[in-house]
Amino acid sequence: METQITGRRAAAALRRREPLRLRTELKAVLYLVPFLIPFAVFYLWPVCRGIWMSLHVWGIRGMEKYVGIANYDKIFNNPDFYVYLWHSFYFVLLCTPTVIALGLILALLINERIWFRTAIRSAFFLPYVLSVSVISFIWLHLFDAKNGPVNALLGLLGAGELNWLTDRGLVWWAITIVTDWWTVGFVMVLFLAGLQEIPPDHYEAAKIDGAGAWQRFRHITMPGLSSVMKIQIFYQVIGSLKLFGQVQIMTGGGPGDSTNTMIRYIYVTGFKKDMFGLASAQSIVFCVIMLMIAAIQFKLTDRKDG
Amino acid sequence: MKMKKKSATLLTTGMALTLALAGCGNGSNNNNAASSAPASGSASAPASSQAASTGNGGSAVEITFWNMFGGGEGDFVDQIIKGFNDSQKEVVVKQLRLESNEYYAKLGTALSSGKGPDVAVAHVDRISPFVKAKQIVPVDDLASKVGLDLSQITASNLQSVTYDGKPYAVPLDTHFHMFYYNKDLLKKADLLNEDGTPKLGEMTPEGFEKTLAQIQSKVPDIQALAVNTPYFQEPFLNLYYEAGGDILNADMTKAAINNDKALSVLKFYMDVYKNKYADLNDKNPWDSFSNGKAAFWFGGVWEAGVLLGDASKNIGAMPLPPIFGSQTHWASSHLLVVPSYVSAEKQEASAKFMKYFSEVGGSTWGKAGHVPANANVTASDEYKSLPYRDQFIEAQKTVKFAPQTDKYTTIVTTIAESLQNIIFGSESPEDGLKDMEKQINEVLDN
């Protein structure tokens, strides 16, 4: 009975408010249009077209024939797919923790009152503004086994010749070093912003209570950074999964296929082997996997917030 | 208050619009950059042809010429185009130079959408799909219209562009690999004859390895043979063709690569790597050889300018030695093709340009290293006076072009990938070849 009444009352209230709500909704849509149109034209439409392509044999000359889900069948029956998918995830495991740890350490250092703060901050941020091809070519030369500065430096320390880009054991580390160097500036800047939002009086109070540096970091800094941290992890996981340029330029997926990632696999299938239908299907599968990961991450971080 | 709110709304709307417009502009800019080729090709052609025709008294036909040549090769093409434009007043050639990595994606798009070049460069192993889709025209009638005698073209080149008895392109050149050798290093290894040619010993895989071993023992700090590891399919195909192998069977329905010949070639190279005659980790073997860090190199004829042009390098060239029996070796060829959508008038104009490129431009093109397809050019004294060109012509006689299948790009990429897995030890040669066979058959069945 009670629920019925409240239900009816709510319905009445809703009806009364309807014209107003419709107007606000319309207004919202109107404001969104400038975003929605380019989004639909440049993003949604290509995605839909990709789905359509993925159901066909599609060569350089365009559509050849409709094959239904045969392309998807082919993907899941090819052991290469799982290998390259693992490579993409392996890179996430290598790169995300290292770049976040480094970024945090740099941010903490720069947040202190040290000399040449701005200069140091700019120096670390500088690589981030370069394009992936530039940084890849720089490190391609730095890592050169015979004439590269990295090996020359290590040689002074007594190390032998290291084949950074053609040794299975080293190549992932080489790619990780490059990517960390490239993106750590951005991670650092976000953490710096986070650090500056933590009120200094918290630290003062903790100091008065006799908390040590580690305790202050553990109980004030870390919780204060948690929201920034979540965003960082999210960005880095997605960014690492999209690894392409560095391996394409520096290793060509090699030695063998040991640094071939999902994105490079899709690129080779489409643009090198002219199998655009199969490549579209691969992109769709990978896109779904990435969306699932994003959804899981959102879920996890949401729960912590609540 | 109300006023203020209104202006705030206006402001936000304005900002949103600006952002959207900026975004839009960006999007279409990117779009242009990515596919500038067809767009600018078609858009600029009419506009500038008007300009050209007014400049030339209204008679000149302007044609758009697409190519992918960069660097040194590009300079020679510029010279040829300039020479053609200056030599007559009927046709003006405008070129559009595209990034070589994306060239075929763009040319393919242009051909299927019917907007793009009036004449274009293509590699011989790439035209099958275009011929099959009737996107390029046969050139025999065009050639006779403008007086280009196709019998001047070397027979093997003409054969390579012939489908159902009709030539679909004008071959410009043949390019392949030569056996380059560093005379200084060979002298140190006691392997140089009086006349400056190398002493190569017995022509078998074992015999050649013995030669390499001698270089290694006498000149230890260098590679005896620089192997093109990053593009390993090239050195592989050269020796595999020498051994008498084929990628596909005769009617091009099945892979024919999983056999003892391929296996013995792979085992030879693995041996060369294992014994350190070649460095598997060398990512720039062409530089290693050019800088005197390797004694032998299977290098492209297009490297002739760099390697043979500088006398201080003391490098010589000869046809690839018949290590695996025959002298047959891999080759490709640059062609000029005319798309089907081009109007009759422009087709004829394009044919005039092709005639010039073949007959006159050929000698310029020969300087780039490629062996010109026009036999009159290769017979000329001007061409023969270039260093080692007699050797080039000799090597040209035993070339083998890619099978005429429209799946060749896919097949050769598959081969390249599997070979990388084999030489870097992810797969045994036996498994790798089996895998290659399976993948190629899948591609052919599609």
User: In this predicted structure, what is the pLDDT of residue A62?
Assistant: 72
Same domain, B389 and B414: no
Same domain, A142 and A289: yes
B441 at interface of A, judged by CB pairs closer than 8 A: no
User: In this predicted structure, what is the pLDDT of residue A112?
Assistant: 84
Give CA–CA dist B181/B195, Å, rounded: 13
Inter-chain residue contact A273 with B13, CB threshold 8 Å: no
Same domain, B135 and B97: yes
B contacts of A38 (beta carbons < 8 Å):
20, 23-24, 27
Inter-chain residue contact B283 with A166, CB threshold 8 Å: yes
CATH of the domain at B343: 3.40.190.10
Same domain, B236 and B339: no
Same domain, A38 and A85: no
The values of phi and psi at residue A64, to 5°, are -110, -50
Measure in Å the smallest separation between the Cα of A261 and chain B Cα atoms.
Answer: 14
Nearest-CB residue to A257 (from B16, B421, B443) = B421
Q: List all residues of chain A from 50 to 79 with a beta carbon under 8 Å from chain B.
A: 57, 59-62
In B258-370, beta strands by DSSP E: 294-300, 315-318, 329-332, 334-337
Same domain, B418 and B305: yes
A135 at interface of B, judged by CB pairs closer than 8 A: no
Give CA–CA dist B338/B333, Å, rounded: 16
Tens of pLDDT, residues B341-375: 999 999 999 999 999 999 999 999 999 899 999 99
Q: Which helix (H) or strand (E) holds A256?
A: none
Q: Which burial class, exposed, middle or buried, applies to A50 when counting CB atoms under 10 A from its CB (0-12, 13-18, 19+)? A: middle
What is the DSSP-derived secondary structure letter of residue B136? B
Same domain, A206 and A250: yes
Residues 6+ apart with CB under 8 A from B165: none
Give CA–CA dist A154/B313, Å, rounded: 32
Task: Give DSSP secondary structure letters for A103-141.
Answer: HHHHHHHHHS--TTHHHHHHHHHGGGGS-HHHHHHHHHH
B contacts of A34 (beta carbons < 8 Å):
16-17, 19-21
B129 at interface of A, judged by CB pairs closer than 8 A: yes
Residue B381 lies in a domain: yes
Nearest-CB residue to B413 (from A59, A257, A268) = A268
Same domain, B186 and B274: yes
CATH of the domain at A176: 1.10.3720.10
- Residue ranges of chain A whose pLDDT lies below 70: 1-19, 61, 303-306
Same domain, A139 and A30: no
Residue A63 lies in a domain: no
Give CA–CA dist B412/B126, Å, rounded: 11
In sign, the C-alpha dihedral spanning B94, B98, B103, B109 is negative
* % of chain B residues with pLDDT over 90: 75
Q: Are strands B162-163 and B166-167 parallel, antiparallel or unpaired?
A: antiparallel
A contacts of B23 (beta carbons < 8 Å):
35, 38
Residue B146 structural domain: 59-172+333-400
Structure tokens at B335: 């062609």
Inter-chain residue contact B27 with A42, CB threshold 8 Å: yes
B292 at interface of A, judged by CB pairs closer than 8 A: no
Give CA–CA dist B112/A244, Å, rounded: 29
Residue A15 structural domain: 2-53
Residue A58 lies in a domain: no
User: In this predicted structure, what is the pLDDT of residue B4?
Assistant: 46
Same domain, A201 and A244: yes
Same domain, A263 and A144: yes
A contacts of B409 (beta carbons < 8 Å):
272-274
B contacts of A144 (beta carbons < 8 Å):
283
Inter-chain residue contact A61 with B135, CB threshold 8 Å: yes
What is the DSSP-derived secondary structure letter of residue B301? G
Inter-chain residue contact B13 with A166, CB threshold 8 Å: no
Q: Nearest-CA residue of chain B relative to A57?
A: B446
Inter-chain residue contact A60 with B129, CB threshold 8 Å: yes
Same domain, A32 and A111: no
Give CA–CA dist B124/B142, Å, rounded: 19
B contacts of A272 (beta carbons < 8 Å):
409, 413
Same domain, A153 and A13: no
In A108-255, beta strands by DSSP E: none
Count how many domains chain A has.
Answer: 2
Residue A11 lies in a domain: yes
Measure in Å the smallest separation between the Cα of B297 and chain A Cα atoms.
Answer: 19
Same domain, A87 and A46: no
Q: Which helix (H) or strand (E) holds B39?
A: helix B36-55
| C-beta of residue B147 within 8 angstroms of C-beta of residue B315 | no
| C-beta of residue B29 within 8 angstroms of C-beta of residue B39 | no
Same domain, B287 and B202: yes
Residue B77 lies in a domain: yes
Residues 6+ apart with CB under 8 A from B375: B152, B153, B154
Query: Model confidence at B5, in pLDDT bands (50, 70, 90)?
Result: very low
Tens of pLDDT, residues B53-94: 444 445 789 999 999 998 778 999 999 999 999 999 999 999
CA B436 to chain centre: 23
Same domain, B440 and B325: yes
How many contacts (CB atoms, under 8 Å) link A and B?
A: 78
Count how many domains chain B has.
Answer: 2
Q: Which helix (H) or strand (E) holds B224?
A: strand B223-226
A167 at interface of B, judged by CB pairs closer than 8 A: yes
Measure in Å the smallest separation between the Cα of B309 and chain A Cα atoms.
Answer: 25
User: In this predicted structure, what is the pLDDT of residue B108?
Assistant: 87
Tens of pLDDT, residues B313-347: 999 999 999 999 999 999 999 999 999 999 999 99
Q: How many CB atoms lie within 10 A of CB A211?
A: 16
The most confident of A26-35, B27-36, B202-211, B300-309, by mean pLDDT: B202-211
User: In this predicted structure, what is the pLDDT of residue A15?
Assistant: 54
Interface test with B, best of A67, A250, A274 (most B CBs within 10 A): A274
Same domain, B206 and B84: no
User: In this predicted structure, what is the pLDDT of residue A9?
Assistant: 54
Structure tokens at B184: 């200084």
Residue A144 lies in a domain: yes
Same domain, B241 and B151: no
A contacts of B16 (beta carbons < 8 Å):
31, 34-35
Same domain, A133 and A269: yes
Integer-rounded Cα radius of gyration of chain B: 26
Residue B67 lies in a domain: yes
Same domain, B395 and B294: no
Give CA–CA dist B94/B441, Å, rounded: 42
Q: Which helix (H) or strand (E) holds B350?
A: helix B344-359
Residue A64 lies in a domain: no
Same domain, A34 and A144: no
Same domain, B74 and B120: yes
Same domain, A170 and A273: yes
Inter-chain residue contact A167 with B425, CB threshold 8 Å: no
A254 at interface of B, judged by CB pairs closer than 8 A: yes
Inter-chain residue contact A60 with B425, CB threshold 8 Å: no
Measure in Å the smallest separation between the Cα of A232 and chain B Cα atoms.
Answer: 25
Tens of pLDDT, residues B14-55: 444 444 444 343 333 333 333 333 433 344 444 444 444 444
Q: List all residues of chain B from 319 to 378 with a beta carbon under 8 Å from chain A.
A: none
Q: Nearest-CA residue of chain B relative to A38?
A: B24
Measure in Å the smallest separation between the Cα of B154 and chain A Cα atoms.
Answer: 30
Q: Which helix (H) or strand (E) holds A45?
A: helix A45-53
Residue B71 lies in a domain: yes
Range in B36-50, B243-257, B288-302 with the lowest mean pLDDT: B36-50
| C-beta of residue A76 within 8 angstroms of C-beta of residue A58 | no
A223 at interface of B, judged by CB pairs closer than 8 A: no
User: In this predicted structure, what is the pLDDT of residue A271?
Assistant: 84
| C-beta of residue B318 within 8 angstroms of C-beta of residue B176 | no
- Calculated CA dihedral for residues A186, A192, A194, A200, nearest 10 degrees: 180
Give CA–CA dist A250/A269, Å, rounded: 19
Inter-chain residue contact A34 with B17, CB threshold 8 Å: yes
A272 at interface of B, judged by CB pairs closer than 8 A: yes
Give CA–CA dist B329/B243, Å, rounded: 9
Give CA–CA dist A268/A262, Å, rounded: 10
Q: Which burial class, exposed, middle or buried, applies to B371 when counting CB atoms under 10 A from its CB (0-12, 13-18, 19+)? A: buried
Mean pLDDT over the full length of chain B: 87
B285 at interface of A, judged by CB pairs closer than 8 A: no
Q: Which burial class, exposed, middle or buried, applies to A109 when counting CB atoms under 10 A from its CB (0-12, 13-18, 19+)? A: middle
* % of chain B residues with pLDDT over 70: 87
User: In this predicted structure, what is the pLDDT of residue A61?
Assistant: 67
Q: Are strands B399-400 and B329-332 parallel, antiparallel or unpaired?
A: parallel
Residue B371 lies in a domain: yes
Same domain, B89 and B126: yes
Residue A108 lies in a domain: yes
